[in-house]
Structures are given as structure tokens and as C-alpha cells.
Amino acid sequence: MTIGRRLFNMARSELNSLLDRAAEAEQVSHKDPDEDLYRRFSLDELTDAELEAEIERRHRERQAAARGRAAGAANTAGRPASGQTRTKPGPGPRAPSTDDELRRAYAALEVPVGADFATVRSSYRTLMRKYHPDRHAGSPDKQKTATELAQKLSQAYLLIEQRGRK
């Protein structure tokens, strides 16, 4: 797997995480059917076309919800409907949960979630040998990309290692 492809896969997993958090932040009192995309799809099984379709679907849902809120605000002119009380706005976007971080860490190391530590260590060492910045010293762009990737791999490995000790 090339460095560019690896970065693309990591960006795709980050985008899925951001989409999930955005959906949760917009969620008021109803349950979002796509709340946990990671449980339903493996990152490797999600194709580019499926990802684009999912992004477009969520974009349309957000636009429809915004239109509904705007229409509701225009109808009530800022007053709550009869029998209802005005509520305070909810908290802002929440920080990513530990489960989200762990899922991303396992995905970065290309191992299934919950894999034993020996498998994680083996994958980490293999990926670090492949993407170590010193191996790409001939090209400044590749070296910079490899450095960023090595840092993400190291952070993922440390997170899984610390989680395993607790």
C-alpha cells in the first residue's frame, strides 16, 4: 500500500468520524439510525462510491432539517407552541469518546478492533518499517508525509498499549 493510499484511507476514517459526531450534535430527541456507522461497516468494506453516497445523503438530511427548523421558527416567531416551554440549547459538540479513538487507532494500525496486543505490536512494527521517514529521505514531500504517518501510527500504538494496561 502506498503512502498516499494509506493517508487517503486514514482521511476517510476521520471523515466518517466527523460525520458521525456532526449527526450526534444535530440530534435533539430522536435516535439517528446511522448513529454507529463503524459497527455496521468495516472501513475496508466501504467503497468510495458508498462513502460519497453517504455524504450526500447526510447533506440532504441536514438541509431538510435546517429547512424544517427555519419554517418552524417563521411560523412561531420565536414563541413556543401552546403547552410547550422554551428549552435551552444543548451543549456543543462533544469530544470524541474513548471508543471512537480506539476504533481509529485499530484502523490506523490495520488490525481488527479488539485484536490481541501481539497482533497490534506486529502490525505496528511492520507498518513502521514500511513507512519510516528515513526510508523516504530522497524526497522531501514523501519524507514529510511519512513523518506525519509515523506519528499517527505511534500515537495509535501508544493509545492501544495504555488501554491494554488498565
DSSP 28: S
CA separation for the pair 129, 16 (Å, rounded):
28
Report the 10 Å Cβ neighbour count for 14: 13
Q: Residue 17: what pLDDT?
A: 75
CA separation for the pair 146, 131 (Å, rounded):
6
Q: Residue 154: what pLDDT?
A: 93
In contact, 103 and 113? CB cutoff 8 Å: yes
CA separation for the pair 20, 11 (Å, rounded):
14
Contacts of 62 (CB under 8 A, 6+ apart): 22, 26
Residue type, 37: L
Host domain of residue 9:
3-165
Closest listed residue to residue 23, CA positions, set 58, 55, 52: 58
Q: Residue 71: what pLDDT?
A: 75
67 burial level (CB within 10 Å; 0-12, 13-18, 19+): exposed
Q: What is the pLDDT of residues 118-129, one digit of tens each?
A: 999 999 999 999
Q: Which residues of the chain have pLDDT under 50?
A: 28-29, 32, 35, 43, 94-96
Q: Residue 3: what pLDDT?
A: 82
Scored b (16 or more CB within 10 A) or e, 110-142 reads: bbeeeeeeeebeebbeebbeebbbeebeeeeeb
Residue type, 62: R
Number of domains in the chain: 1
- The pTM assigned to this predicted structure is 0.44
C-alpha cell at 100: 471512537
